[in-house]
Structure 1
């Protein structure tokens, strides 16, 4: 509940309105049976004046109750929607501060469910809180007292009714609380499976795996369905049981009054009011049980949201961190790194040290899994090193402000990710206030102008969801353009030309060398030909820096580099012969 408190305080007017309205609605509901009893008593005594008077009062009280009920729903809805909207925004902002490690811990599918399904449960929770939390106790206590006042000798009927219904509600709703936790877990799994299948639909269809994917989804969906069915069965069984107990109480009251009607004739007029109070008492207990169930489900969702909000980002920036222009000198000092979920001692990078001067081009090569991308992610501070320090212009990355670091380091991933929107809106993610000239310069460097200018809308061309209307090479070139549009002091290209043909890749590299002479460029490449002109090449093997130097120096001194180079040359000759 503590995560709701600051948001509830912002809507104190809605809370006051909802509380006052629900109290008025509850009081009018309790007063109507009393007026009905007065009307019946007046009818039995043939007093027309009192019948008219109490009849008018009954109508007025009913109208007041209706208006109060409408007001309660109005204020409760405003409160619930406002609080949920604010909490959703707070949670989304928190997610934006997460590092890669935090996202992987929760999984993107689970975070989506928390932002949508769990927030819907919290909306219902807040609605129930202000609509029923006060109403139920007022109706329960009021109907019990007024029932005893109406026919005092039948007090034990109410006590018996309360005991039976509370025992039944306890056993039913207690089980539902555990079931709701399972529902949210299965919803996470369903959402994750759907997301992965839709994102990888080409792979699924290419390998004819539709049947297996369908079977996996059906299994998880059936698990969710079974839990939902159990909840449904409990719901469907609870109402008939509650109704049966209530009717038995009413029947017992009628029977007892009928047995002594000659002794207590005044109870004939009071019987209708007493039955109404019994009904209100029963409904108060039932609504209380339903409220506790909604609370149970809401508390589960609140717990899942709280888990996100209290999670400390693996990578945190100091608000008082260094702010200023950096040139791009990079230094690694005995840097080691292990992923958060790695076993103890299982390092992805171990004791890496090197120094890079601003404006240099650095190649990073090595076998798959050698730690090339991991090293690049550390430069962009997507992760923090487990040991050692990384410096830019002598400043430890941890002492830089987030704004400064993001303006200094631009990261172009191998898997080009573009968002739905226009080409221009995607490029401006690299620099939100980029001018038309800067955008044109960026697409020129990335060799994207040739296809962008063919579009009638040019930079205003719409990119579809998951950039489905672009080829792999086009996406990579636009991704490179987004990376260079801000003219960053440090540019990291993580195998980001893998989808380009040899000619386009060469043109991109020549443009980068020509237009980004003052930019420190890290090129992660599978092909050595991509880094031949680098000022320095880092050779990684199983997370260790085993060699560094120029291409010629490494050919003369590094057996691993020689092995990679010779094997790639052999493959090129085989391809040439086949052609």
Structure 2
């Protein structure tokens, strides 16, 4: 997958934006449990008072707090509040606290200063709250403070004590506070602020409802931001994935177009189709997953772990135990499933190959009555793929139930352990709820990571198969510095000591081939099956490169010019006529985009296709189905010939292109070609099986077992070439040859 990373470089901006949106989404998800905890703990349990720091304190309360603060705490408290007389108070404060007289107002503090003040106020606020809530006639009061006279001002007594006596008097209260736990202590201190506000006439119910409403609106805003970020990341990742897939398909198609027959022999057509479609789709899905889940899962997992640790370190052993269990489950699953993905891709290739062979060879299958064998062959490939897919899907299907079971066990453990911690006062209900949520987030992050680890091998296999195509070393390449054709040798084709051997073959197909095909003349090739005729003419447009020797076109070695420039000079009519889906016009204009209808009608006439084209209701606009299945073999061949003629090339190559034509049409067509050659001075090269198709050629080259065994005109070869004579007498009688 890394080898294909260059296809993502052009999308750097949307990728960066996507990463940003994923980060915002993860932070939004992580913030919500915190606010839920605040609503439950501070909003409901503590009545909206989440801190021992009060915005307003009466003079009396401040003095009481200072009694129980040490010197450092007193300094912090005094420096954090400003005394303000009643007349100088804002109307809003007077309205909120109707019983307030002179007051101490909280200064605008930094976060660090606020934390120092909160730490300094916790115990003094708890002490004041505890003393104010006691009944002087209760046993608890008498046990703690002794039998003080009725109406004794405890604060006055404490203020006159030294530190040792004060500690001894409040020892029981200190022990009770130390046993509370940090969370319970903060809630209790917040209740002290609530008591102070009640004494000042504030509507604490409104303060509580405002706190809950404010926190709820913030949660709603965070959820909205998270949703927008999620949608944005999904949109951008999809765009990037689709763009990478588009560029990959384009690159693969362009690469395949430059393949020679050697490379096509390495990859089957079915495999190339699978790599261009299914494999690239796998890569596209992985890109989307990488930009969303691969980034989101670690951010969420690490963030949730950090948040859980900040809420309660006493329950972190639950998380680590769950993570170990999940890791073991995922390791086993990945170990079992990963090897099967490569098998699946190979089986898809095999299924596509079987399907393609059955569809393209359906007439042959029916002709031999082998439908049952074809069905069994397809069923075998289909069943093999199904079995492996079922194995993988069953293994994957077990993942979700196992993960849900682990999540439920984790939730039960958190509640069980958390209940004990709540009893000890170490955590509040809201914190336990948040801890459960963060634990679920961690487990879900691991689930996402598991999905990625399962997808990555499959996509990596697909990416590797795509890269195999893109990294294939081309046997036929353009030269670094291309030469120009010689205008004085236009249309001249020369073979000089040419030998050709297929890659991996033990023997040469062609040996020591020497001949010259001149412009304005027809050069024909004939020989028995397997003599190398088609291979020879495939060397001219560089479908293969010669093993030894050289081929010159327009006086230049074909290996020293660009393939595009070379093939622009050549018009090829292959052995099997190939038409593309579209219209007759679009097929004929395939090599001559600017050809007018007049030009097309002329080449149609020369190719002897006028009769059936004119009979079509739409003429040149008549639709041609894929592969030309809606026209006959002869019609297809004539249209293929017309297409080559429309290009008006210097060199025309006919590879046994007249075999589908009847003798009459063949004769007329050859006659028209002769007229065209005289007029345009094209070089015509014909591969033929029938003597009648080539006997009028200016030069006939006879091949046998890859070697030239005869060269000359028909008359010359009939005199001195035994191979040619054998072919001629096997096809025509002596009388027909004599009349020729």
Superposed pair shares fold, TM > 0.5: yes
Q: Which residue of 2 aligns with 1:27?
A: 27
Q: Which residue of 2 aligns with 1:576?
A: none
Is the contact between residue 183 and residue 228 of structure 1 (CA under 8 Å) also seen in structure 2?
yes
Q: Which residue of 2 aligns with 1:219?
A: 380
Q: Which residue of 2 aligns with 1:386?
A: 547
User: Do residues 336 (structure 1) and 509 (structure 2) align?
Assistant: no
Is the contact between residue 570 and residue 651 of structure 2 (CA under 8 Å) also seen in structure 1?
yes
- Measure the CA separation in 2 of the matches of 1:185 and 1:554: 53
Q: Which residue of 2 aligns with 1:10?
A: 10
**Per the alignment, in what secondary structure is the counterpart of residue 423 of structure 2?**
coil
Q: Deviations over 1:331-373 (max 9, x none)?
A: 1112111223x33x32221221222222221111111111111
**Per the alignment, in what secondary structure is the counterpart of residue 453 of structure 1?**
helix
Q: Which residue of 2 aligns with 1:445?
A: 606
- Measure the CA separation in 1 of the matches of 2:431 and 2:515: 93
Is the contact between residue 318 and residue 399 of structure 1 (CA under 8 Å) also seen in structure 2?
yes
Q: Which residue of 1 aligns with 2:708?
A: 545
User: Do residues 178 (structure 1) and 179 (structure 2) align?
Assistant: no
Q: Pick from 352, 360, 366 the counterpart of residue 199 of structure 1.
A: 360
Q: Show structure 2 runs of 5+ residues with no match.
A: 49-207
Is the contact between residue 418 and residue 466 of structure 1 (CA under 8 Å) also seen in structure 2?
yes
Deviation at 1:566, TM superposition (A): 1.6
Deviation at 1:192, TM superposition (A): 1.8
Q: Pick from 616, 630, 635 the counterpart of residue 469 of structure 1.
A: 630
Q: Which residue of 2 aligns with 1:500?
A: 661
> 5 Å matches for 1:50-449?
50-264=211-425, 266-318=427-479, 320-324=481-485, 327-340=490-503, 342-343=504-505, 345-449=506-610
User: Do residues 567 (structure 1) and 568 (structure 2) align?
Assistant: no
- Measure the CA separation in 1 of the matches of 2:221 and 2:496: 82
| Aligned residue-pair number | 571
Is the contact between residue 418 and residue 427 of structure 2 (CA under 8 Å) also seen in structure 1?
no
Give the CA RMSD over aligned residues: 1.8
Is the contact between residue 274 and residue 349 of structure 2 (CA under 8 Å) also seen in structure 1?
yes
- Measure the CA separation in 1 of the matches of 2:19 and 2:600: 56
- Measure the CA separation in 1 of the matches of 2:609 and 2:377: 41
- Measure the CA separation in 2 of the matches of 1:3 and 1:97: 21
Is the contact between residue 4 and residue 83 of structure 1 (CA under 8 Å) also seen in structure 2?
no
- Measure the CA separation in 2 of the matches of 1:496 and 1:206: 25
**Per the alignment, in what secondary structure is the counterpart of residue 217 of structure 1?**
helix
Q: Name the TM-score, length of structure 1 as normaliser.
A: 0.95
Deviation at 1:571, TM superposition (A): 12
Q: Which residue of 2 aligns with 1:38?
A: 38
Deviation at 1:319, TM superposition (A): 6.0
Distance change in 2, residues 1:22/1:431 (3 Å): same
Q: Deviations over 1:81-126 (max 9, x none)?
A: 1121122112211111111221221122111111111111111111
Deviation at 1:265, TM superposition (A): 5.9
- Measure the CA separation in 1 of the matches of 2:342 and 2:445: 26
Q: Which residue of 2 aligns with 1:526?
A: 689
**Per the alignment, in what secondary structure is the counterpart of residue 410 of structure 1?**
strand
Is the contact between residue 151 and residue 267 of structure 1 (CA under 8 Å) also seen in structure 2?
no
**Per the alignment, in what secondary structure is the counterpart of residue 398 of structure 2?**
helix
Q: Name the TM-score, length of structure 2 as normaliser.
A: 0.75
Q: Deviations over 1:120-154 (max 9, x none)?
A: 11111110111022211111111111112211111
Deviation at 1:470, TM superposition (A): 0.8
- Measure the CA separation in 1 of the matches of 2:304 and 2:648: 74
Q: Show structure 1 runs of 5+ residues with no match.
A: 574-579
Is the contact between residue 146 and residue 277 of structure 1 (CA under 8 Å) also seen in structure 2?
yes
Distance change in 2, residues 1:428/1:560 (3 Å): same
* Stretch deviating more after TM superposition (392-401 or 3-12): 3-12
